[in-house]
Amino acid sequence: MKENVIKTRSFAFSVKIVNLYKFLIAEKKEFVLSRQLLRSGTSIGAMVREAEQAESRADFTYKFAIGLKEANETDYWLDLLKETDYISALEYNEIKNDIGEILKLLTSIIKTSKSK
């Protein structure tokens, strides 16, 4: 069986987000931005999982579109956390690369789904 790249990557990303959230709460005592990041960052994988059980191609595309919106929001929170010095450039660059790849994958899946 072929590996589902977006499913694997979005789940691994969710794990990183949860760990970053725990760090922000424990070490930086940051509770508002980190909660927003946790919500949007873990929603990506949840929408990918929901799309597996889509009732139609339109439903499938819609769930991925929501995942893409959540990924864009997550990207925003990461930028804000870096610019306000809650995360270091090293932490930011690693996770920024991950969200960039997820954004590309989601965009590609949505375009392909709409073209069929």
Residues in the chain: 116
φ, ψ for residue 85 (rounded to 5)? 65, 25
Residue 2 has pLDDT above 90, yes or no: no
Q: Is the model's pLDDT at 1 over the cut of 80?
A: no
Rounded mean pLDDT, 36-57: 97
Other CB atoms within 10 Å distance of the CB of residue 103:
17
Q: How sure is the predictor about 71, in pLDDT bands with cuts at 50, 70 and 90?
A: very high
Collapsed DSSP state (helix, strand, coil) of residue 10: helix
Which of 21, 103, 22, 19 minimizes the C-alpha distance to 68? Answer: 103
Identify the pLDDT of residue 116: 81
pLDDT score recorded for residue 13: 98
Q: Are 9 and 98 in contact (CB under 8 A)?
A: yes
